Homo-oligomer: A and B are copies of this chain.
């Protein structure tokens, strides 16, 4: 005994969402059918439109439905000599919320991971190399995640910058604000000590 074909199809399709298994998918399907058919129809349209029209920005590789994303299309920022390299569009959002950085971004959409078959070309480093050689870039700020893969990726890009005589810098690692020292892991503390500044 199974649910009716259309309901089964809906449940199966919902499982393509990350973190959604059989039970959650069932709950979602029945919740939508019972209480929010309009929301579900909107979701259907939004999914269709996004999948059809969203592509990569031709300059920074983030997701956008235009050829250039809003930041790259912004005259001043789009031609900035400072590039901040991040792993994902969400990272761009996090940095933008600080309103601190006025340059432009380069979004890798992942990190180097030879074990998963993800090489330099898969994270757009050929495009970055092209920009480093053709455009007037003064500094590349490496803001990849402080994980093993993120560090390796940062290191690789730093080498790439060296080849093109462009300065590369890495964002500081250390104790986060609001954290309590006793709960900070050893790795972070080591970085915090190594990166200490004289007052």
Query: Which A residues lie at the B interface, using CB under 8 A?
Result: 1, 3-7, 9-10, 12-14, 16-19, 24, 26-34, 36-37, 39-51, 53-54, 63-66, 69-71, 88-90, 93, 96-97, 109-110
Interface CB pairs A-B, < 8 A, 29: A1-B70, A1-B97, A3-B89, A3-B93, A4-B54, A4-B70, A9-B49, A9-B50, A10-B49, A12-B46, A13-B45, A13-B47, A14-B46, A16-B32, A16-B40, A16-B42, A17-B31, A17-B43, A18-B27, A18-B28, A18-B31, A30-B63, A30-B88, A30-B90, A32-B51, A33-B63, A41-B47, A44-B48, A44-B51
Residues of B within 8 A of A64 (CB): 4, 7
Main secondary structure of the interface of A (DSSP, over half): helix
From B5, B27, B65, B96, contact of A5 by CB (8 A): B65
A90 to B66, CA, bound (A): 43
**Structural contact, A1 and B40, CB atoms closer than 8 A:** no
Residues of B within 8 A of A29 (CB): 50
A47 to B19, CA, bound (A): 19
Residues of B within 8 A of A96 (CB): 1
Task: Select from chain B the residue with minimum beta-carbon distance to A17.
Answer: B28
From B1, B24, B48, contact of A93 by CB (8 A): B1
11 A-B pairs besides A6-B50, A44-B44, A44-B51 with CB distance below 8 A are: A1-B93, A5-B65, A6-B65, A10-B46, A17-B28, A18-B28, A19-B24, A33-B63, A37-B51, A40-B50, A44-B45
